[in-house]
Amino acid sequence: MFVACDFDPRGLPGRALVAGEHALSFDSSFYAPGELAGLFADAGLRPHGVTSGFAYALAGVKTDGTPTGERDEPIREYR
């Protein structure tokens, strides 16, 4: 299992955070939940939403092709 916490750059608070970090010359990257879920999937992890909002967390569970019960639930949709 891999867990990542990030800030959603799509809303007003996220855009302000991105602008502030860039103004301070930080080389930060922020991903929308769907983008991060895609990166998890590309790495062979099944993404699951843990928390949502401006600050959010995603968990990725390694997939091996066997049924996983509750872990087969799709990732929560973030907007």
**In whole angstroms, what is the distance from residue 79 CA to residue 65 CA?**
29
| Angle (nearest 5°) at CA 79 between 10 and 24 | 15
Q: Residue 53: what pLDDT?
A: 87
Q: Domain limits at 21? A: 2-65
Q: Is residue 37 part of a domain?
A: yes
Q: Is residue 52 part of a domain?
A: yes
pTM attached to this predicted model = 0.72
Q: Is residue 49 part of a domain?
A: yes
The per-residue pLDDT string of the chain (79 residues; one tens digit each, 9 = 90 and over) reads 899 999 999 999 999 999 999 999 999 999 999 999 999 999 989 998 888 889 999 999 887 765 444 555 555 544 3
| Long-range residue pairs from 29-34, CB within 8 A, at least 24 positions apart, any chain | 30/6, 31/6, 32/8, 32/78, 33/6, 33/8, 33/58, 33/75, 33/78, 34/78
Q: Is residue 73 part of a domain?
A: no
Q: Is residue 35 part of a domain?
A: yes
Q: Residue 78: what pLDDT?
A: 41
Q: Is residue 76 part of a domain?
A: no
Q: Which residues pair with 59 in a beta bridge?
A: 3, 48
Q: Residue 50: what pLDDT?
A: 83
Question: How many structural domains compose the chain?
Answer: 1
